[in-house]
Amino acid sequence: MNSDTRAPGEHEPQEATLMAWPYKTSIWDDHLAPLQAEIAAIARAIAAHQPVVMAAAPGHVEEARQACGAGVHVVALEYDDCWTRDTGPIGVYRAGERIGLDWRFNCWGGKFPPWEKDDAFAGQACAALGMPAQPVDMVLEGGAVIIDGEGTLITTEECLLNENRNPGMTKAEIEATLRAESGVTKVIWLPYGLAGDTITDGHVDGVAAFVRPGVLVVQAGPAGTSDHERLAKNRAILERATDARGRHFKLIEMEPYPTLSFGSYETRHSYVNYYVCNGAVIVPLCGRAADDEAALATLRGAFPEREVVGVACPTVTYGGGGVHCVTQQVIPAP
């Protein structure tokens, strides 16, 4: 591992969780109210275990406070939407200092303008959190990478090599930037995210997540679907791979995902898109009892030392994400 820089794993102690209050009817239409209720529920579930800092756009601070309750700290910041995993700063330790990496954000390849406020959000959040921001001249969303804290980073070719992200960079240049900025020494490239992910173009946090170094939860694909073959290829790569310390991975398979329908629109619900915080794992539930309970049972087995807490958030799924997508951990000061 780069001795000067280290990106901690999500399983390590955290100072707080950064979230953002959704407020734009121009983005969410009649889904805004149920989404706000889900974001508040996620925030309260995390706040039972550690501080939550909820960004709220000017004019919406009191609305967020009333919905989230006294256990959530609300701060006024400018931003466009609620996906803090992708727009918030990624904390690293560099030369003995805590800094927030401020990667460029182009709204998943320029899909949903405007995004200028989201691109500037990481720098503002760093100021609010009391840590320096370090701009990085490369497009990267936090959901495109998972990091174990011991030198290993996993991503997908489908996302990071998409021409809509960094068309002027080669794979080798992208990997070199990931290594330099995150302090990792091993980058593992999976070919695929979830099939049909036209929003993020295959973020890795929908198909794989660290439990701790050397242990991963991996998503399986339903038989007869394109994801059955795609996700089997992901797993085969991980079965052959070793991490930065030379360990083979222990893989815990998540059962095939449910598909949720919103009128004529269908989307996959990823239970792998969970968030690990101090003492707990916050899991996105879809409201189908059998599927939800099977996923919770898998994660209770993976995390016997943590409380596994399910939060119903089908509207977050509608938006293309899960609990992990609307949270970003704040690392402690050294």
Active site residue 313: no
Question: How do residues 22-71 score in pLDDT, each as one tens digit?
Answer: 999 999 999 999 999 999 999 999 999 999 999 999 999 999 999 999 99
pLDDT at residue 193 above 60? yes
Question: Is 277:46 a contact under the CB 8 Å cutoff?
Answer: yes
Q: Which domain holds residue 94?
A: 5-328
- Specify if 306 maps to a domain: yes
- Specify if 222 maps to a domain: yes
Partnered with residue 18 across adjacent β-strands are: 53, 328
pTM value > 0.85: yes
Question: How do residues 233-287 score in pLDDT, each as one tens digit?
Answer: 999 999 999 999 999 999 999 999 999 999 999 999 999 999 999 999 999 999 9
Reported as a pLDDT band with limits 50, 70 and 90, residue 211 is very high
Token pair recorded at residue 1:
């591992």
- Specify if 184 maps to a domain: yes
pLDDT at 2: 55
The residues, any chain, with a CB within 8 Å of residue 231's CB and separated by 6 or more, are 192, 207, 218, 219, 220, 221
The residues, any chain, with a CB within 8 Å of residue 168's CB and separated by 6 or more, are none
Q: What is the CATH number of the domain that holds 105?
A: 3.75.10.10
pLDDT at 149: 98
Question: How do residues 172-192 score in pLDDT, each as one tens digit?
Answer: 999 999 999 999 999 999 999
Question: How do residues 100-132 score in pLDDT, each as one tens digit?
Answer: 999 999 999 999 999 999 999 999 999 999 999
Reported as a pLDDT band with limits 50, 70 and 90, residue 85 is very high
Distance between CA 298 and CA 47 in Å, rounded?
24
Which H or E run contains 297?
Answer: helix 289-302
- Specify if 334 maps to a domain: no
- Specify if 333 maps to a domain: no
Question: Is 82:39 a contact under the CB 8 Å cutoff?
Answer: yes
- Based on the structure, what is the number of domains in the chain? 1
pLDDT at 221: 96
Q: Which amino acid is at 279?
A: G
- Specify if 301 maps to a domain: yes
- Specify if 291 maps to a domain: yes
Distance between CA 217 and CA 304 in Å, rounded?
14
pLDDT at 222: 95
- Specify if 232 maps to a domain: yes
pLDDT at residue 1 above 70? no
Rounded to 5 degrees, what angle do the CA atoms 45, 46, 48 make?
75
Partnered with residue 131 across adjacent β-strands are: none
User: Which of 117, 144, 152 is closest to 8 using CA atoms?
Assistant: 152
Cis amide leading into 114 (omega within 30): yes
Q: How far is C-alpha 191 from the chain's CA centre? A: 18
